[in-house]
Amino acid sequence: MPSEERFNFCENILKNDDDESRRWDAVWLVGELAENINENHRIRQKVADLMEWVLRNDSNGVVKHEASFQIAARNLREKIPLLVEISLNDKSVLSKHEAIESLGLMRAFEVEEDIKLALKDPSSDVRETAEFILKRFKRLRNSGEYTPSEIL
């Protein structure tokens, strides 16, 4: 299926389908469209904006969890402020957790102070995730460019 057609197909599912398992699949499939393409490519921006729509509008924490992951996996750095907002304000603990974890995956050192605010979250899972990411930031801060084989 061509990229535009695939995007439109997935967008329709995300905005209109009641089945959260289908919406999760649509997040995954549309996220793949942003892989290994120039950051100024139009489809990449459309994917980023659709992930934002999911995080702001979907009712299911698992679907929103996947949208946060896709933002991190595709390194959609323009959505870092959105991930901060979700990590501090979303009603889903699962969504908050993954937004924080995604900020860590992206090495979003610039929002470390925002992540510290999650240390006061009522959920122990959210607090634990924030503690984990802050510890990881401390360890990785001066490690240079990311190289998977040198992470440990």
Long-range (24+ apart) CB contacts under 8 A made by 40-45 are 43/3, 43/4, 43/7, 44/74, 44/76
Decide: pTM greater than 0.85.
Answer: yes
**114 CB contacts (<8 Å, ≥6 apart)?**
84, 87, 88
pLDDT band, residue 1 (cuts 50/70/90): confident
Mean pLDDT across the chain, nearest whole number?
93
What was the pLDDT predicted at 40?
A: 67
* CB atoms inside a 10 Å sphere around CB 69: 19
Dihedral sign for Cα atoms in the order 15, 31, 24, 10: positive
Q: For residues 43 and 37, what is the distance between their CA atoms, to the nearest angstrom?
A: 9
Q: For residues 47 and 50, what is the distance between their CA atoms, to the nearest angstrom?
A: 5
- List, in order of start, the domains of the chain with CATH numbers: 3-141 (1.25.10.10)
Which tens digit of pLDDT belongs to each residue from 2-44?
899 999 999 999 999 999 999 999 999 999 999 877 766 889 9
Which tens digit of pLDDT belongs to each residue from 47-90?
999 999 999 999 999 999 999 999 999 999 999 999 999 999 99
* CB atoms inside a 10 Å sphere around CB 123: 14
What was the pLDDT predicted at 114?
A: 98
Q: For residues 130 and 122, what is the distance between their CA atoms, to the nearest angstrom?
A: 12
What was the pLDDT predicted at 79?
A: 98
Residue 147 has pLDDT above 90, yes or no: no
What was the pLDDT predicted at 72?
A: 96
